């Protein structure tokens, strides 16, 4: 887990984040994702500076291991001077050695956040799920932690004022907010009450707006007027030219189907798997991966 430097904002990793959500559904299945309907509770990972450092770190680690349902995994948490915030040795288990940066000795309330990320590494390692490339893999790890209910701690560790800033993990604060919002939309959970950091709360509300927009794209019936107009224009173009009108600016694309008809493909607003439906007015589809019912006006 990286540490330090100016805090990056916005959505530079959004494509990888969305691919990570899809990969998670593919690897875990809908049923397993549903078992993570309850997030890690603030009280379960609370850690104040008067708690014993080592006992407290082990307690929080056990809580996270329990959350990710790794019954036999045992985390051995140590502290040392290092440039990174934290690191985990991914061996065959059941013992995993986690090193935390020495500064957590005096920032104990953020130990839960650091461990949320490191235990997600163990979880993905056990699932044998990874992305090629270190950076992509770290984004998968943060997305997994957040989507499965532990990563809100990482967002809450983000604090910024004129004098200093702190952020853990590889996603920007807004991207953490986005994944957390996607989770909250699926599970009907409201994480906003857990934040101790005002900046984290702001990032969550921004991410929530972007997450809501995923369900407001044509051909979904939730699309707005401007989006629908644009969609009608693109569809006419596809009808006239019989070519795929896949454009990077719009998330949907048309492909020719049998008997001169068209099909439109677009990302599922929940899991981002591509959905294909015939272009024939009102269509109701169900995503095979995350089971979201999709009301479309094609």
Q: Where does this chain bind Zn ion (CB under 5 A)?
A: 1, 138, 268, 270-271, 287, 289-290, 292
DSSP state of 190: -
Closest CA to 207 of 2, 1, 14: 14
Rounded to the nearest whole angstrom, what is the least distance from the CB of residue 159 to Zn ion in the complex?
20
Rounded to the nearest whole angstrom, what is the least distance from the CB of residue 121 to Zn ion in the complex?
5
Using alpha carbons only, how large is the chain's radius of gyration in Å? 21
For Zn ion, give the closer residue by CB, 119 or 208.
119
In angstroms, the CA 198 to CA 204 distance is 10
For Zn ion, give the closer residue by CB, 208 or 289.
289
Rounded to the nearest whole angstrom, what is the least distance from the CB of residue 183 to Zn ion in the complex?
14
In angstroms, the CA 79 to CA 96 distance is 14
Q: In what order do the strands lie in the sheet with 86-88?
A: 74-80, 95-101, 86-88
Rounded to the nearest whole angstrom, what is the least distance from the CB of residue 162 to Zn ion in the complex?
29
Q: How do 74-80 and 86-88 pair as beta strands?
A: unpaired
Q: What angle do CA 164, 169, 172 make, to 5 degrees?
A: 75
For Zn ion, give the closer residue by CB, 206 or 217.
217
Rounded to the nearest whole angstrom, what is the least distance from the CB of residue 57 to Zn ion in the complex?
17
Q: What angle do CA 121, 71, 291 make, to 5 degrees?
A: 70
Distances (CA, A) of 219 to 22, 38, 74: 20, 32, 47
For Zn ion, give the closer residue by CB, 119 or 200.
119
With the C-alpha atoms ordered 9, 196, 109, 178, is the resulting torsion angle positive or negative? Answer: negative
For Zn ion, give the closer residue by CB, 148 or 238.
148
For Zn ion, give the closer residue by CB, 157 or 271.
271
């Amino acid at each position: 887990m990286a540490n330090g430097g100016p805090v990056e904002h916005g959505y530079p990793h959004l494509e990888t984040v969305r691919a990570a959500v899809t990969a998670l559904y593919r690897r875990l299945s809908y049923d397993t994702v549903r078992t993570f309907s309850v997030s890690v509770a603030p009280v379960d990972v609370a850690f104040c500076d008067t708690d014993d450092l080592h006992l407290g770190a082990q307690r929080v680690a056990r809580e996270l291991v329990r959350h990710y349902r790794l019954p036999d995994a045992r985390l051995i948490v140590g502290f040392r001077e290092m440039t990174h915030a934290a690191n985990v040795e991914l061996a065959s288990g059941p013992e995993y050695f986690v090193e935390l940066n020495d500064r957590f000795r005096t920032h104990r309330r953020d130990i839960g956040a650091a461990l949320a990320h490191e235990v997600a590494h163990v979880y993905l390692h056990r699932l044998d799920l990874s992305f090629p490339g270190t950076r992509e893999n770290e984004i998968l790890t943060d997305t997994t932690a957040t989507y499965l209910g532990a990563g809100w701690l990482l967002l809450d560790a983000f604090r910024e004022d004129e004098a200093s800033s702190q952020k853990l993990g590889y996603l920007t604060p807004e991207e953490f907010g986005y994944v957390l919002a996607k989770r909250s939309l699926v599970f009907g959970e409201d994480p906003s009450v857990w934040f101790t950091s005002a900046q984290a709360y702001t990032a969550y509300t921004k991410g929530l707006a972007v997450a809501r927009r995923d369900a407001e794209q044509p051909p979904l019936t939730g699309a707005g007027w401007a989006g629908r107009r644009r969609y009608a224009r693109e569809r006419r173009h596809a009808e006239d030219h019989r070519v795929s009108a896949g454009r990077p600016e719009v998330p949907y694309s048309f492909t020719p189907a049998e008997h001169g008809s068209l099909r439109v493909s677009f990302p599922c607003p929940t899991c981002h798997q591509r959905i294909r439906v015939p272009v024939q007015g009102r269509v109701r589809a169900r995503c095979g991966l995350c089971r979201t019912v999709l009301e479309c006006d094609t």
